[in-house]
Amino acid sequence: MKRTIVFCLLTVFAFRINAEPLEEMEYILRFGFIKGGKATLTAQRDKLNRKPTIHYHMRGRTTGLVDKIYEVNDVYESWVDTGTYLPVKSVRTVREQKYRFYDEVFYDHVTDSLFSIKAGHKKVPNSVNDLVSVFFYIRQNKYFEALLAGEKFQIPVYHGDELFLMHLEYLGIETIDTKIGKKQCYVVSPKVPTGKLLKGSDGLRIYITKDENRLPIYAEFDLMLGTLKCELVSYKIKGVNQLIDQ
């Protein structure tokens, strides 16, 4: 898995499933006391081939000292069907140092296949997702409530010309200090294949507020070089900050 999996996994449960006219979230990323990056996420209703979709757009980039050492400026997009929450199209634009990568993938869930402009046609398992859409797919109430009840899920994900199974595990409830005070949170751990970035398949923990908003307010990644901490600093609907009244 590429380094940019960090930015992709920040999308977990990030927005309401159906999306408001425009939702925006922003995270800061830190290595210890060093601010290392920023992730900006938006979701809005859209149309693709005249069919209603929800368009998720995510940009992850390094800042400050980290940017000088290893520059990352990546954009991931996913258009999902408003009825099934499965992806219709995904776009990946990667800029890391001198490395460049661009791909568009189109999904056909009737024939369980996809077409990538880089890799061509491929047969895939039923209900395949991309790395952005999978979290919104799991976030459907029937999946999330089952997750809290202790059930585990296994969902096929296509990313970077690779197919793998995404697992999610509920770890319990924990109270943490945040910029908007102490918050009780559900702790969820997405399991991904061990690569060059994460120490292990369970090296990620997402903290989701235990309230009706269920905001992914904090995350920790156990990396080879230390722990990367991500904190939500802005959540807006139609440009209005929603964190003030939390």
Neighbours of 232 (CB within 10 A): 24
pLDDT reported for residue 78: 94
pLDDT at 16 over 80: no
pLDDT at 90 over 80: yes
Residue 148, classed as helix, strand or coil, is helix
How confident is the model over 115-137, as pLDDT tens digits? 999 999 999 999 999 988 887 78
pLDDT reported for residue 225: 61
Q: What is the dihedral of CA 16, 83, 186, 2, to 10 degrees?
A: -90
Compute the average pLDDT of residues 141-150. 82
Query: Residue 24 in contact with residue 41, Cβ under 8 Å?
Result: yes
Query: Residue 220 in contact with residue 227, Cβ under 8 Å?
Result: yes
Per-residue b or e along 88-122, where b marks 16 or more CB atoms closer than 10 Å to that residue's CB: bbbbbebbbeeeeeeeebbbebeeeebebeeeeee
CA-based Rg of the chain, rounded to a whole angstrom?
17
pLDDT at 238 over 60: yes
Secondary structure string (H, E, C) spanning 169-219: EEEEEEEEEECCEEEEEEEEEEECCCCCCECCCCCEEEEEECCCCCCEEEE
CA 142-177-179 angle, to 5 degrees, is 95
CA pair distance 207, 155, nearest whole angstrom: 21
Structure tokens at 52: 């209603």
pLDDT reported for residue 119: 92
pLDDT reported for residue 233: 87
How confident is the model over 22-66, as pLDDT tens digits? 788 888 888 777 788 888 888 889 999 999 999 989 888 888 888
Question: What is the percentage of the chain residues whose pLDDT exceeds 90?
Answer: 28
pLDDT reported for residue 53: 94
| pLDDT band with cut points at 50, 70 and 90 for residue 197 | very low
Q: Where are the domains of the chain?
A: 5-241
pLDDT reported for residue 146: 86
CATH architecture for the domain at 5-241: Beta Barrel (2.40)
